[in-house]
Amino acid sequence: MVRNLSAIALVGLASMLMPPIVHGQGWGDILRDAASRRATQIAEEAIDKGLDTAEDAVRCMVTDQACIERAQQAGEDVVLTNENGNPLPPERQPQRTAATEAGAPIADRPVVDNTAPTATQTMAPDREIRWETQTGYRDGGKIVVADGVVATGNINSKGGTFAYDASTGNRLWQAPGHLLAGPVTDGHRVYTANGGMGLSAFDLKTGKLVWNVADAETTYSADLLLYEGRVFVVGDHGKMRVYDAASGKALWTHEYRTGGYLTSCVTTPVGADGLVYYAGGDSDPPDQIFLWALNAASGEVVWNREIKRNRDDRYGSCMTAAAVGAGVVAVASNHVMVGLDARTGAEEWRNAVERRIDGEVEPRSLAEPLLHDNRVYAIFEEGLIGWDIASGRQSFEFAGNFPASGYRRILALGDGAVYFIANLEQPKAQGNRGGFLYAVDLATAQVKWKHRVNREKPYFDKWSSTYFGLDGSAVYYENAGLLAKISR
């Protein structure tokens, strides 16, 4: 009789927990399903109860970075929720460790997010602004720093070249014409190519015009090179011109494509060991696109090579500017990084970057490489990768959410760290993915610090920072009408 009552009780429990009985299902299966459902229900209730009763916890939607940052700054615990306000499961909450129990700030705690790569699962400490100044123009360009002066310019057709005191942010001087290329500096002068002015040299401290070449042609797609007392300027119509940096005197010209037609696939020149490397040509219709190695003093051609993504390609392809070191020139063409002998142009190595995206293996376009300590680095959309420049062996990778546009993938390296603008906080962020400036340790591939560069103002979503520059102690960046300084 007791057995019968127990059976009746179990049937009652099962009827409360289960959907209608499936024809042919045995009582053993029914009871096991009931127990499993009840265990799941109890576990879920425990999760909700634990999260709901967390003392002094701040609830933030997982995508609400502003809420998370406010809690970080206040040193409070955070409960992450979905868009409906329901807490995420424990494995997606900030993990409590011995350090957090002892009161460590949440900014120093790892955050587990199953949609993000392991290397980015850290909420790094923020950097505070030391100063910021309104520029009077929306779109700042390249930033260089020398001898206590920050030089940059306006790239949206109004204004020109601007210089600021690196200690205070006060404007020192400006010159007219919107910035097309540069600035570059030797620590005494600033050289720029400005619309309406041509190529100019200014005194770094005062902005006094030293010399000007009004008819010097430049292109948006290639920056100036200042190397061995010469300024190298690449134009859109098939020629690179070289000027004496002291006087502005024309020295020599190299024709990278005959005929003077409007060209494409032009890159910024790079100098090393007495040679200058740059690419020029036209890809539509297909034409020869060469990487050129020239004698920097005379312009004599040392060698030229087509860079082919696949060795069997009929034509060479467009490429990035080069990085040169350890006797090797590295350039990227789409998803392939190629290393060439710097003196002969012979191919030494090549590496293709491919990743599985939505179930398919796809090539990942590489940005311009940058050299540091004989390792060459390049950004692609899902990360930052590094190779030994002599051997081509991969020796570094940092996974993250980088800008989709190659134009916005800019690196700086120094003191064992790499600096870039990206968005590692929201793995599926939309737009240009440029909300934060990061410093990553090259030895550990860990984020050292981050700083939010975009602002809650007009153009917040569309106009994030692109350009930044370093000196020995600080980073300077532009963003939608302002120039700011933070400590390194």
Q: Above 60 in pLDDT, residue 248? A: yes
Rounded mean pLDDT of 441-450?
A: 93
In a domain, 219, yes or no: no
Which residue range forms the structural domain that includes residue 79? 26-51+58-114
The residues that bridge with 174 in the sheet, in sequence order, are: 162
In a domain, 286, yes or no: no
The pLDDT value given to residue 479: 86
pLDDT digits (tens, 9 = 90+) for 395-414: 999 998 888 777 678 899 98
pLDDT digits (tens, 9 = 90+) for 293-338: 999 999 999 999 999 888 888 778 899 999 999 999 999 999 999 9
Q: Residue 60 is encoded by which pair of tokens?
A: 């933030």
What is the CB neighbour count within 10 angstroms for residue 268? 20
In a domain, 350, yes or no: no
pLDDT digits (tens, 9 = 90+) for 175-230: 988 899 999 999 999 999 998 889 999 999 999 999 999 999 888 889 999 999 99
In a domain, 354, yes or no: no
The pLDDT value given to residue 442: 93
In a domain, 109, yes or no: yes
Q: How confident is the model at residue 76 (pLDDT cuts 50, 70, 90)?
A: low
Q: Above 60 in pLDDT, residue 105? A: no
* Separation between Cα atoms, residue 350 and residue 309, nearest integer Å: 9
The pLDDT value given to residue 57: 67
pLDDT digits (tens, 9 = 90+) for 123-168: 556 788 899 999 988 888 999 999 999 999 998 766 789 999 999 9
Q: Above 50 in pLDDT, residue 456? A: yes
Q: Above 60 in pLDDT, residue 478? A: yes
Classify each residue of 438-464 as buried b or exposed e, where b means 16 or more C-beta atoms within 10 Å of its C-beta: bbbebeebebbbbbbbbbeeeeeeebb
Q: How confident is the model at residue 46 (pLDDT cuts 50, 70, 90)?
A: very low
In a domain, 91, yes or no: yes
In a domain, 340, yes or no: no
All residues at 6 or more sequence positions from 211 whose CB lies less than 8 Å from its CB, including other chains: 200, 201, 247, 248
Q: Above 80 in pLDDT, residue 273? A: yes
In a domain, 81, yes or no: yes
Q: How confident is the model at residue 25 (pLDDT cuts 50, 70, 90)?
A: very low
The distance of Cα 431 from the centroid of its chain, to the nearest Å, equals: 14
Decide if 431 contacts 462 (C-beta within 8 A): yes
- Who wins on pLDDT, 136 or 25? 136
Rounded mean pLDDT of 466-487?
A: 92
Q: Above 50 in pLDDT, residue 455? A: yes
Number of domains the chain contains: 1
Q: How confident is the model at residue 64 (pLDDT cuts 50, 70, 90)?
A: low
Question: What single letter denotes the amino acid at residue 364?
Answer: R
Query: Which residues in 154-249 belong to E strands, given as ranges?
Result: 160-165, 171-176, 179-185, 189-194, 198-203, 209-213, 225-227, 230-234, 239-244
The pLDDT value given to residue 395: 94
- Which of 8-22, 132-146, 425-439 has the largest mean confidence? 132-146
The pLDDT value given to residue 331: 97
Q: Residue 455 is encoded by which pair of tokens?
A: 């602002």
The pLDDT value given to residue 340: 98
Rounded mean pLDDT of 51-57?
A: 47
Q: How confident is the model at residue 119 (pLDDT cuts 50, 70, 90)?
A: very low
The pLDDT value given to residue 204: 98
